[in-house]
């Protein structure tokens, strides 16, 4: 596969409603989109960074600069090399080509995904087929942000359950944890699949407080401590009954294997952008399956492009818990692709070639701030 150029876009899409977590409130989703042009087709990748480095060290301006100044030139060099008398590129060559640049996993993931999308389209293969998906639809969960009041939270959760979502995730932080969880359980009962996400907002000293969540029979508590505090998570897991799930801490298959071996987690959240792409996501899935650890697919408020790839990933056999693969209208009134629609609590797995979704030009242009073309 020969590359001829790459387009970088910066887009900004208004959210249906503000989304608040322990690290801030989002009113719009600002992200980057990549389009890889080959001699035969285009491939797309979504850059899931946030505007500021609050979820991770990466942020949109920095990621676009890393792509433009470092990663794309390295990819171009790799694509130009002759192997066996042929020049070109395949998805497995992307990560090794970009390895000289440390970190920047989200930027690398976007570039690898765009190459993968083009490669699959040229071969009329779907992402789901290529990954080894075993299901035609996946159960959908929804992430509920921190609210101004408990009654407001109950109204929101009730609305999502009425829509058919099969799992509720509540964002929590100090001062907004036990009371909202108790209120949701009391209002909607014990049969609702319920979990919480702290986004690193607590310390090990908060273990007695977090243990107060144990009676509510939660599926898991996600990333309660700082991302580098693996020992702290292992100790916390001994002090509470709620299963500990790691998100920000899991940046690779090696990190997942280490965390599992140390007893730091009983569940793993896989976000392809966070770990460097879908090839590494598949490796993490395989490590977790080998160790009997369930996984689920996290979300970064993706557009239809990223959502399509995540749904395909979530159809792998090790994804035994509903993920944050919600319908498009959970976040966007108008997506940039054909929307994903919730049907009986599930999303259908795309079976079209590549990611299974392509941007609709007029919708994409309407939310594009800047774009640039880099010829290769």
46 touches 60 (CB < 8 A): no
137 is catalytic: no
Tokens at residue 316, please?
A: 């792998």
274 touches 303 (CB < 8 A): no
Closest of 287, 237, 292, 293 to residue 268, by C-alpha: 293
DSSP letters, 99-138, are: TTS-S-HHHHHHHHHHHHHHHHHHTT-BHHHHHT---SEE
How far is residue 299's CA from residue 167's CA, in Å, rounded to a whole number? Answer: 14
CA 186 to chain centre: 30
1 touches 90 (CB < 8 A): yes
102 is catalytic: no
The total of other beta-carbon atoms located within 10 Å of residue 308's CB is 30
Q: Which residue among the candidates 137, 171, 343, 371 is catalytic per the annotation?
A: 171
Residue 67 phi, psi dihedral angles, 5° rounding: -65, -50
Q: Which residue among the candidates 137, 169, 238, 271 is catalytic per the annotation?
A: 271
139 touches 167 (CB < 8 A): yes
DSSP-derived pairing of the beta strands 193-197 and 167-171: parallel
Alpha helices of the chain — where are they, by DSSP H? 60-66, 72-80, 94-98, 105-122, 127-131, 150-163, 178-188, 207-211, 230-239, 253-261, 272-275, 278-290, 304-314, 361-367
How far is residue 298's CA from residue 281's CA, in Å, rounded to a whole number? Answer: 11
Q: Coil, helix or strand for 70?
A: helix
Task: Tell me the chain's radius of gyration from C-alpha atoms.
Answer: 20
* Positions marked active-site: 171, 271
């Amino acid at each position: 596969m020969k590359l001829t150029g790459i387009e970088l876009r910066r887009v900004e899409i208004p959210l249906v409603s503000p989304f608040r977590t322990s690290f801030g409130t989002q009113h719009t989703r600002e992200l980057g989109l990549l389009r890889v042009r080959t001699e035969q087709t285009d491939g797309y990748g979504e850059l899931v960074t946030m505007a500021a480095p609050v979820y991770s060290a990466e942020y949109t301006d920095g990621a676009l600069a890393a792509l433009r100044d470092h990663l794309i030139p390295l990819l171009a060099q790799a694509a130009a090399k002759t192997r066996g008398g042929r020049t070109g590129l395949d998805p497995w060559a992307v990560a090794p080509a970009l390895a000289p640049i440390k970190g920047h996993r989200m930027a690398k993931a976007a570039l690898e995904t765009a190459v993968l999308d083009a490669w699959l389209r040229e071969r009329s293969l779907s992402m789901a087929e290529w990954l080894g998906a075993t299901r035609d639809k996946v159960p959908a969960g929804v992430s509920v942000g921190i609210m101004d009041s408990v009654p407001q939270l109950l109204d929101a959760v009730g609305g999502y359950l009425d829509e058919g979502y099969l799992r509720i995730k509540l964002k929590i932080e100090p001062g907004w944890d036990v009371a909202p969880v108790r209120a949701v359980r009391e209002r909607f009962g014990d049969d609702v699949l319920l979990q919480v996400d702290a986004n690193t907002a607590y310390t090990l000293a908060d273990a007695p407080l977090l243990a107060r969540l144990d009676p509510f029979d939660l599926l898991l508590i996600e990333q309660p401590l700082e991302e580098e505090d693996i020992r702290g998570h292992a100790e916390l897991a001994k002090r509470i009954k709620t299963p500990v799930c790691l998100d920000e801490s899991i940046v690779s298959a090696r990190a997942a294997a280490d965390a599992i071996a140390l007893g730091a987690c009983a569940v793993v959240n896989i976000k392809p952008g966070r770990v460097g792409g879908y090839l590494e996501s598949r490796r993490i899935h395989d490590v977790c399956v080998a160790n009997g650890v369930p996984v689920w697919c996290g979300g970064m408020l993706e557009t239809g492009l990223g959502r399509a790839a995540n749904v395909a990933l979530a159809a792998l056999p090790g994804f035994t818990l509903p993920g944050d693969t919600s319908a498009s209208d959970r976040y966007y009134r108008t997506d940039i692709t054909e929307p994903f629609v919730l049907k009986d609590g599930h999303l259908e797995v795309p079976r079209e070639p590549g990611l299974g979704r392509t941007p609709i030009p007029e919708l994409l242009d309407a939310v594009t701030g800047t774009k640039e073309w880099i010829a290769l």
